[in-house]
């Protein structure tokens, strides 16, 4: 796919422009549909993108995985999650992040298994995917069936997929230890938060975000659709079904991931992130 990569001189925002690829427009619509279906999806993706960015694994040409591949992996994760409540808008974001790292860092069988999104999602043997592939291609290590273009393997160019697997495994180990009851005896003094153990936010990044907000923050207008979604989201009751006593004191949604990671320390070890490992009961996945 011909891609022009550029960086805006003033904002340093990076932009990719593709040509003569109709599936790009279709993919944008496809992603928007799933963002409506899974309201937690964009927050999960933003954290994962930053995590991979800091390890130079967020670009295909460096061996990492593309944004589209990552989004499809996250969609599949939510589609096939063994807990139905994992798809709720008020689900624990920190727990989902740990479970994502556990699935793709430990349990997923990259050698034999492909990811399918269409028709509700499935894990399928690579032999089945190869039957519909064109031009003599074989399924890649990170094999993701393109839901918009049958026969296309979205992860084909991600030659460093095993490096991605390794860093996902590392993140799972670090975070699962951080939220375990034993972690209270060994406080982490090198970072300000649980999430800070795997994602570093430098002062340079903080200053840049403040500059962006100061210069353009007041110019951002929410679309009616997004504004309505935010209003609906604010009306969602907590998991225990009780009404919020003081909505004004509720933290912003963007802060919930860090708070959710902290709250996982209150969960018993029996209900920890390892719940997603039930997926490994399949010969395809394990």
Domains of the chain: which residue ranges? Answer: 38-238+251-281
Give the β-pairing of 122-125 and 113-116: antiparallel
* Distance, first Cα to last Cα, the chain: 33
Q: Look at residue 41 in the predicted model and tell me its pLDDT.
A: 94
The 3-class secondary structure across the chain, one letter per residue, is: CCEEEEECCCCCCEEEEECCCCHHHHHHHHHHHHHHHCCCHHHHHHHHHHHHHCCCCCCHHHCCCCHHHHHHHHHHHHHCCCCHHHHCCCCCHHHHHHHHHHHHHHHCCCCCEEEECCCCCEEEEHHHHHCCCCCCCCCCCCEEECCCCCCCECCCCCCCHHHHHHHHHHHHHHHHHHCCHHHHHCCCCCCCCCHHHCCCCCHHHHHHHHHHHHHHHHHCCCCHHHHHHHHHHHCCCCCCCCCCCCHHHCCCHHHHHHHHHHHHHHCCHHHCHHHHHHHHHCCCCC
Please give the CATH architecture assigned to the domain spanning 38-238+251-281: Orthogonal Bundle (1.10)
Do 100 and 74 touch, CB atoms closer than 8 A?
yes
Token digits of residue 186: 């060994």
Q: Which residue has the tokens 């593309």?
A: 66
Q: What are residue 144's DSSP bridge partners? A: 115
Q: Which residue has the tokens 């290590």?
A: 141
Q: How many CA atoms lie within 13 Å of 278's alpha carbon, on the beta-carbon side?
A: 10
Do 263 and 92 touch, CB atoms closer than 8 A?
yes
Chain-centre distance of CA 211, in angstroms?
26
Do 260 and 94 touch, CB atoms closer than 8 A?
yes
Chain-centre distance of CA 65, in angstroms?
12
Q: Look at residue 15 in the predicted model and tell me its pLDDT.
A: 86
Token digits of residue 147: 């839901």
pLDDT mean values, one per 10 residues, the chain (286 residues)? 83 82 85 93 94 92 89 96 84 93 96 94 90 78 90 87 96 92 69 83 88 76 53 46 42 49 48 38 48
Spatial distance between the Cα atoms of 151 and 130, rounded to a whole number of angstroms: 8
Using CA atoms, how far residue 34 sits from 18, 31, 146, 150, 231, in Å, is 22, 5, 15, 19, 19
């Amino acid at each position: 796919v011909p891609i022009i990569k550029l960086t805006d001189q003033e904002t340093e925002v990076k932009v990719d422009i593709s040509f003569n690829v109709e599936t790009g427009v279709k993919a944008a619509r496809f992603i928007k549909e799933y963002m409506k279906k899974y309201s937690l999806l964009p927050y999960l993706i933003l954290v994962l993108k930053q995590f991979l960015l800091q390890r130079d694994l967020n670009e295909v040409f460096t061996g990492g995985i593309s944004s589209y591949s990552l989004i499809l992996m996250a969609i599949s994760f939510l589609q096939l999650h063994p807990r139905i409540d994992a798809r709720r808008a008020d689900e624990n974001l920190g727990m989902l992040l740990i479970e994502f790292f556990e699935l793709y860092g430990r349990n997923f069988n990259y050698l034999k298994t492909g990811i399918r999104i269409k028709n509700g999602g499935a894990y399928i043997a690579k032999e089945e995917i190869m039957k519909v592939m064109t031009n003599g291609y074989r399924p890649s290590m990170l094999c993701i069936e393109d839901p918009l273009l049958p026969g296309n393997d979205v992860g084909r160019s991600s030659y460093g997929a095993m490096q991605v697997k390794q860093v996902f495994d590392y993140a799972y180990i670090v975070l699962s230890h951080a939220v375990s009851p034993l972690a209270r005896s060994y406080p982490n003094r090198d970072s300000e938060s649980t999430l800070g153990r795997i994602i570093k936010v430098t002062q340079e990044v903080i200053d840049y975000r403040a500059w962006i907000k100061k210069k353009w923050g007041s110019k951002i207008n929410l679309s009616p659709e997004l504004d309505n979604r935010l209003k609906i989201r604010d009306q969602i009751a907590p998991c225990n079904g009780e009404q919020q006593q003081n909505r004004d004191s509720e933290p912003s949604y963007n802060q919930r991931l860090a708070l959710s990671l902290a709250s996982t320390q209150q969960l018993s070890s029996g209900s920890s992130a390892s719940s997603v490992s039930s997926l490994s009961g399949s010969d395809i996945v394990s």
